[in-house]
Amino acid sequence: MDKDYTCQDYGTQSEWTRIRVTVPLGQLDELVAVMSMVNNYLQIEDYSDIDLKTCYGDLIDESILNADKTIASVSVYVPADMGVGDHLAFLKERFATLGIDGKIDISGINEDDWANSWKAYYKPIKIGERIVIVPAWEKYEALPDEIIVRMDPGMAFGTGSHETTRLVIGLLEKYVRGGERVLDVGCGSGILAICASKLGAELCRAYDIDPVAVKVASENIKDSGQTNISCAQSDLLRQVDVSDGRYDIICANIVADIIIRMTPDVGAYLADDGVLLASGIIVERSEDVVSCFEANGFKIVDKAIDNGWCALVVKKI
């Protein structure tokens, strides 16, 4: 049935953009988990359990009775003044990682225009003590000691505005001291690898399962002028290069379930005294992730939280 969990405050806003994703019914639970990362107030349409002609004495609308019961939809509502580009890129990247077959529909904005319309809301963002993420098309006068990272995320996740990205960048400022080998799994726009390089990492490798993200990241890396970063397509750790040694820092800004899935394998890629920066974890799932790390020979040495999102710093025991 149509389970409407839409926040009642939406009625007080002047403009909203609705992002509606439709999936095969068997993927509904996974879709709800991903969509809740954008906003906890969801509108869920699932008609699979309707098989009666009446409900509480009233006739059910014919369109509902005849609805396709093999699919389900979930909608979230984004304030129009926030733009939707980063949200859409985030969803597309997570869908690719999780194998979710989602059809995205947008209302409140022309779908063909979203890739450019969000630029009006993407402004320079200072993260941590030194990093400033500046849109490629914006002018910005750097202050002393600021490190400027210019980005055009296009259709890949990673403008720096999302909490999960901010958390990892803040941790990179703390843990990159110079000369490290850095691996970014699920690189999106390439923002984390570029930040690590500019902070003094010796070598950075970035991988993503989405070919669009790899293309965008490669372009951003080239434009950054950082020659010690490479980018390639990979399904998590399967094609990651360790021929010349393991990594001092591994960034995994993905999602709790995927971090749990990769945990048994990640030790083979992490230097003995290295750190794994795991983000994309909603606070409610953090204990599940912590338990998985501990069961696989890791310990949590640091943690950061921002607006319901959690990032963990993990080392080998």
CB neighbour burial string for 275-291, b if at least 16 within 10 angstroms, e if fewer? bbbbbbbbeebbeebbe
3-state helix, strand, coil in the chain (%, to 5): 35, 30, 35
pTM: 0.68
Domains of the chain: which residue ranges? 2-117, 122-316
Q: Which residue has the higher pLDDT, 62 or 233?
A: 233
Statement: residue 94 has pLDDT above 60: yes
Question: Could you tell me if 193 and 151 are in contact, meaning their C-beta atoms sit under 8 angstroms apart?
Answer: no
CA atoms within 13 A on the CB side of 47: 15
Query: pLDDT tens for residues 124-160?
Result: 889 989 999 998 888 898 899 999 999 887 655 667 7
Q: Which residue has the higher pLDDT, 9 or 166?
A: 166
d(CA 275, CA 301): 9
Same fold, 2-117 and 122-316: no
> Which fold does the domain 2-117 belong to in CATH?
Alpha-Beta Plaits (3.30.70)
pLDDT band at 175 (very low <50, low <70, confident <90, very high): very high
Statement: residue 220 has pLDDT above 50: yes
Give domain 122-316's CATH architecture: 3-Layer(aba) Sandwich (3.40)
Other CB atoms within 10 Å distance of the CB of residue 95: 20
98 contacts: CB under 8 Å, gap ≥ 6: 30, 34, 255, 257, 258
